[in-house]
Amino acid sequence: MITKPTKIKKLLILIAVCIIIKSTSQSLEEDDIINNSFELNNNNNNNNNNNYIEKSNIVWRVPVGCDYSGFFVEVLNFFIGLDNILGNAVGDNNLHLDIGTCSNEFLKTLETREATIIQKYQANYNNRYAMKNNPDWTNTILIHHKLPNNPFSTFQPSNRPKIIIARVMIESNILPRNEIQYLKNDIDYIWVPTSWHENIYVNHGINKNKLFVVNEPMSFKQFETKTNSATYRFLSVFKYEHRKGGDILLNSYWNAFTLKDDVELIIRSYRPSWLPGTKNLENIFKSIAKQNFGKLLSELPKVTWVKEELNRKEMFNLYKSASAFVLPTRGEGWCLPCVEAMSMGLPIVVTNFSGPTEYLNEKYSYPIPIHNNINHDGTAEPDSNACTNLMQHLYKNPAEGKEKGALASKFVAKHLSPNIIAKKILKKLHEYVSYDDEDKSEL
């Protein structure tokens, strides 16, 4: 049992926590701050920070099922790092994953160790919680990923987890009012992926001391690559909806080049089932070509649509077959494909707004500026002409692009590896359980 501190000690605790949160919420462009906030001091500190896991159950709830969505890949990379640090030590049985059932067919598409990690921590959850009629949550730290348009988990007051953490992200600068109230009143702490998100939530009235920036980890795994080609290939990976800026992408690309240029735009995309209209993206491409350029697709620089669902190995090989990655998006929570492209050594051309601002830097990327006026839905409009100019610049300066891509790859390995993010998570959880409920209410 934790002894309640004096008023002076409470004040010192609050000051210390504020300093820690401030030091870890800076943009990833500030390398010196990153190193200080992400790295734990020594192995002794690591062992001390992990001891509390033996006394608490940690449930990571991601109600998405098993697929290659950004939510799933994010939690997979979180657990790769956590498993690396916890290993087979006492306490790893107290870490649980609630993500639904993964089919054997899906597990076969993962790397062997990835599948083993998913199964291991799913089994922990099933044995302690899912297979019991009335599981005890009172000694549980619950980390709950909030999905769009889905509610948080609810509990009876007598069986509430001792700490509830919301993992949330948005693509615009507008938050739903009902979600704000719930985060204020019913959630103990809030984890966001970037400093941009932290500012948005603070601007909506969330206490900054409840917020903590936890970047998405990137599993730095490279597979065999395809043969390089003389053709300069721009790659874009996204689901085809208005927010992702597919219309801006095509306009920018076709304005940048002619049939005389040895270029290709590869689009790995799909039309979500919940959106009306055709799911055949070639028809959409044809419509944009005719409406905006008065031409057939065959009369414009080559666009290739990759419609097949690709596993992780196939996706990474697709990245490595490209020369650059481009996405003039209107808003992102994080943009997993952007960071995957960086890790594969590609220069990225991405809108300098929302989530990507955490890692965009002219040293190792090509930020697309936005127009001054924010859209009514809180997203931003990227400058299509600037995107055109950046694509032309990369085509004319491929050596510079390769150099920036190499720096981007090193950046991801240094600052976004699963181990680095896992250490940050474990350190923060250790701080949370160091205070009793009365102390926590003051944060």
Q: Write the DSSP string, 125-166.
A: HIIIIITSSS---TTEEEEEEPPTT-PPP---GGG--SEEEE
With cut-offs at 50, 70 and 90, classify the pLDDT of residue 7.
very low
Q: How far apart are CA 397 and CA 402, in angstroms?
A: 9
Average confidence (pLDDT) over 415-424: 96
With cut-offs at 50, 70 and 90, classify the pLDDT of residue 131.
confident
Average confidence (pLDDT) over 200-214: 97
Q: How far apart are CA 326 and CA 346, in angstroms?
A: 10
Write down the pLDDT at residue 54. Answer: 61
With cut-offs at 50, 70 and 90, classify the pLDDT of residue 224.
very low
Average confidence (pLDDT) over 118-124: 93
Q: The dihedral of CA 57, 58, 61, 62: what is its sign? A: negative
- A 10 A CB-CB count for 101 gives 10
pLDDT above 50: residue 173 = yes
Write down the pLDDT at residue 440. Answer: 52
Six-digit token string for 124: 């922990």
Average pLDDT over the chain reads 86
How much is the pTM?
0.86
Write down the pLDDT at residue 33. Answer: 30
Write down the pLDDT at residue 89. Answer: 55
Average confidence (pLDDT) over 302-320: 91
Instruction: Dump pLDDT digits (tens) for 80-92.
Output: 999 998 876 544 6
Q: How far apart are CA 202 and CA 209, in angstroms?
A: 10
Average confidence (pLDDT) over 299-327: 93
Instruction: Dump pLDDT digits (tens) for 371-387.
Output: 999 999 999 999 999 99
Contact call for residues 344 and 333 (beta carbons, < 8 A): no
% the chain with pLDDT above 70: 83
Q: How far apart are CA 48 and CA 294, in angstroms?
A: 66
CA distances from 360 to 59, 229, 291, 393, 435 (A): 32, 27, 33, 18, 36
**Higher pLDDT pick, 26 / 112:** 112
Contact call for residues 195 and 8 (beta carbons, < 8 A): no
Closest C-alpha to 315, from 226, 411, 405, 240: 226
Write down the pLDDT at residue 150. Answer: 80
pLDDT above 50: residue 1 = no
DSSP result, 13-72? HHHHHHHHHHHTSS-TT-HHHHHHHHS-S-HHHHHHHHGGGGTSEEEEE-TT-SSSSHHH
Write down the pLDDT at residue 28. Answer: 57
Write down the pLDDT at residue 13. Answer: 42
pLDDT above 90: residue 406 = yes
**Higher pLDDT pick, 399 / 3:** 399
Write down the pLDDT at residue 407. Answer: 96
Q: How far apart are CA 240 and CA 247, in angstroms?
A: 9
Alpha helices, H only, 261-383: 281-293, 312-320, 336-343
Write down the pLDDT at residue 51. Answer: 58
Three-class SS of 184-198: HHHCCEEEECCHHHH
pLDDT above 80: residue 59 = yes
Six-digit token string for 151: 């509610």
Amino acid, res. 114: E
Q: The dihedral of CA 241, 247, 253, 256: what is its sign? A: negative
Closest C-alpha to 285, from 258, 232, 249, 310: 249
**Higher pLDDT pick, 351 / 438:** 351
Amino acid, res. 336: L
Write down the pLDDT at residue 392. Answer: 98
